[in-house]
Chain A
Amino acid sequence: MVRALWTAASGMSAQQNNVDTISNNLANVNTTGYKTEVAEFKTLLYQNVQSTTTSANGENKPISAQIGLGVRNSSVTSIFTQGSFYASTSSTAFAMDGAGFFGVQGADGSNYYTKNGNFTLSKGINGLTLSTTDGYPVLDTEGNEIAFADDIDSSQLALTSNGEFTYPDESNNPQLLGISIGIFQFTNPAGLEKTDSSLYQETAASGAVINEATSTAVTKSSIKQGYLEGSNVQVVDEMVNLIVAQRAYEMNSKAIQAADEMMGQANSLRR
């Protein structure tokens, strides 16, 4: 009896995690560069309750009677499919088309990676610095800050699809500035650690960071200026998942009720 109670409890807490994941996806449906997450489950161990078992036609079965002990949350995995692009009026809005990430220097000085290309220009020590909306400097291909002369007209700043900045000269012809925005890849992006502000951090599971500028093995990403990558959350899928999760939660609570009722009856045996 207690077995059924705990089994159902494991089911309820797993579904709670499921709903938590789904609601986080729904909360971030408009977050630039957000990647949807999915919770997955695995069975817990099995307990042998009776060693001799008999099949319907009276023969002994080779395995004992086994009762499973519930479920656990095996993983919450980010799905790195491409989100849809939408236009932005900002000239420092970039959408990453491909598997690449933008590099950002965090407050603690270490490097973080993001799919959110909504950058702005802010006043820095070396001039106008390209940074995230939180003020973290964006990295170039060498891993340094991207700084422009203070007097540039930011609306004239353009970016080629492979990440090189151009600025028009006197005769209005775009000239390469010799600064390229860094594009980074990971062999296993699902292994990246998620931190706040849409930033990811490299881990042992993600593999070492690969700089697209120096690696020949990777499929190059391209950058679209004037666009942002929306989240890849599919609202309809999430709603269906939510229904499934909620009903599964309810079913498990019914099992707890049934177990409780039965225990109550056992209790009332002795009058």
Chain B
Amino acid sequence: MLKGLYTSYSGLINEQSRLDVLTNNLANATTNGYKAEGSTSQSFSDVLAYKIKDESVGYNTARRIGVNTPGVKIGETYTDYGQGSFKSTGNTFDLGLSGDGFFNISFTNKAGETSTKYTRDGSFTIDKDGYIVTKDGDFLLGEDGKIQVDPLKTTEVSQAGIVTQDGVPIDTILLTDFEDYDYLEHYGENYFQPVEGAEFASASAKVFSGYLETSNVSVVEEMVEMISVTRAYEANQKIMQAMDSTLDKSVNSLGKI
């Protein structure tokens, strides 16, 4: 009896996590370069159930009665790296990526540690020294490191990622892809970071200057998911109440004359 109570409890917790994931998608529905996330549910490992002290068959030997699944947990949270749609902005330093690949950003955190992060968010600008930076001031990396342009001249970025001024190529924007996106972790700030075991691959993405890649969150999908989450939560709650009322019967009504 109580086993079932805990099973539905694990169901409630799991639905909460699903709601957390989908809410984050909705919160980031207008975030540039955001990739929708999802989560899968996985049953707890099966456990063998035995009958012990079963005197009906003689000798008090344990008898196997089958498997029992005591609940559910998050299987994985995954990211949908599908292409987001483009929004035209007309700014040279808004760079949309079409295809597989990430921008390389030299990111310095509040503690002053610098590391390379990867992003699909192509909203860049130039700082007073002419470096191409994110809106937070972290540097976009080219093949020769930080990309510095003359801020007083017009800049062009070709589809191959070549930054030119007055027809003179300055640098090529470095794009990186990964063999297996499972080795990418979310950092926050629209950044991804590879974990140990990640293998780099050459990127096939083209750079479109004057466009931004919007998030690939599908609102309809999230709304349907939300209905499914709330209803599954309700169902688990009902099971719990049913368990409770059965327990109530056995505790308070059984043996009454």
- B230 CB contact (under 8 Å) in A15, A75, A204, A261: A261
| Segment of B53-61, B125-133, B201-209 in the binding face | B125-133
Q: Is the CB of B152 within 8 A of A63?
A: no
Q: Is the CB of A258 within 8 A of B226?
A: yes
Mask for B35-59, Cβ within 8 A of A = 1, else 0? 0010110100000000000000000
Name B's interface SS: mixed
- In the complex, whether A161 has a CB less than 8 A from a CB of chain B is no
- In the complex, whether B73 has a CB less than 8 A from a CB of chain A is yes
> Which residue from chain A places its CB closest to the CB of B8 in the assembled complex?
A269
Q: Is the CB of A187 within 8 A of B129?
A: yes
Mask for B12-29, Cβ within 8 A of A = 1, else 0? 100111011111101111
> Which residue from chain A places its CB closest to the CB of B212 in the assembled complex?
A40
> Which residue from chain A places its CB closest to the CB of B119 in the assembled complex?
A42
> Which residue from chain A places its CB closest to the CB of B230 in the assembled complex?
A258
Cα-based distance from A71 to B31 in the complex (angstroms): 8
- In the complex, whether A123 has a CB less than 8 A from a CB of chain B is no
Interface residues on B, range: 35 or more
Mask for A194-238, Cβ within 8 A of B = 1, else 0? 000000000011110010000001110000000000000000000
- In the complex, whether A262 has a CB less than 8 A from a CB of chain B is yes
- A205 CB contact (under 8 Å) in B127, B130, B154: B127
- A61 CB contact (under 8 Å) in B12, B91, B125, B182: B182
Cα-based distance from A210 to B182 in the complex (angstroms): 49
Q: Is the CB of A77 within 8 A of B24?
A: no
- A77 CB contact (under 8 Å) in B12, B30, B125, B188: B125
Q: Is the CB of A53 within 8 A of B183?
A: no
Q: Is the CB of A62 within 8 A of B27?
A: no
Cβ distance A18 to chain B, nearest Cβ, rounded Å: 7
Cα-based distance from A259 to B15 in the complex (angstroms): 10
Cα-based distance from A266 to B197 in the complex (angstroms): 41
Interface, chain A (partner B; CB < 8 A): 1, 3-4, 7-8, 10-11, 14-15, 18, 38, 40-46, 49-50, 53-56, 61-63, 65-71, 74-75, 77, 79, 81, 99, 185-188, 190-191, 204-207, 210, 217-219, 244-245, 247-248, 251-252, 254-255, 258-259, 261-262, 265-266, 268-269, 271
Interface, chain B (partner A; CB < 8 A): 12, 15-17, 19-24, 26-32, 34, 37, 39-40, 42, 73-77, 89-91, 121, 123, 125-130, 135-136, 150-154, 182-190, 195-197, 219, 222-223, 226, 229-230, 233-234, 237, 240-241, 244
